[in-house]
């Protein structure tokens, strides 16, 4: 079974036409991979469908805009995957 990282990296590679090798756990989706907001909509939709979750993107962006966290918290790949794992675990709990 593919890891969360492999699934998400695959989604990003396919959706945004980014070479799979360029996507590492430390990659920042926006700053390193250059994904813009419209592309991220595609990515979010694919992730929501693949994992059966609803990523609370608006809450995340609110946290960032209010200065509670940096974008790293949600957009660095390993952190994004950790958040996805939490949402999946909450779904099945």
Under rule CB under 8 A, residue 41 binds another protein: yes
Closer Cβ to another protein, 17 or 19, answer by number: 17
**Given candidates 3, 56, 69, 70, which one binds another protein under the rule CB under 8 A?**
56
Give the chain as a 3 state SS string.
CCCHHHHHHHHHHHHHCCCHHHCCCCCECCCCCCCCHHHHHHHHHHHHHHHCCCCCHHHHHHHHHCCCCCCHHHHEHHHHHHHHHHHHHHHHC
Under rule CB under 8 A, residue 49 binds another protein: yes
Q: How far is the CB of 8 from another protein (least distance, A)?
A: 16
Q: Read off the tokens for 39.
A: 């592309």
Closer Cβ to another protein, 44 or 88, answer by number: 44
**Given candidates 14, 22, 31, 57, which one binds another protein under the rule CB under 8 A?**
57
Q: Are 16 and 39 in contact (CB under 8 A)?
A: yes
Residues making contact with another protein (CB under 8 A): 38, 41-42, 44-45, 48-49, 54-59, 61
């Amino acid at each position: 079974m593919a890891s969360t990282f492999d699934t998400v990296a695959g989604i990003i590679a396919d959706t945004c036409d980014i070479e799979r090798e360029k996507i590492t756990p430390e990659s920042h989706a926006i700053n390193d991979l250059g994904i813009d907001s419209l592309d991220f909509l595609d990515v979010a939709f694919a992730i929501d469908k693949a994992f059966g979750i609803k990523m609370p993107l608006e809450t995340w962006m609110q946290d960032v805009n209010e200065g509670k966290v940096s974008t790293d918290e949600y957009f660095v790949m390993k952190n994004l995957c950790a958040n996805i794992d939490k949402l999946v675990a909450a779904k099945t709990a």
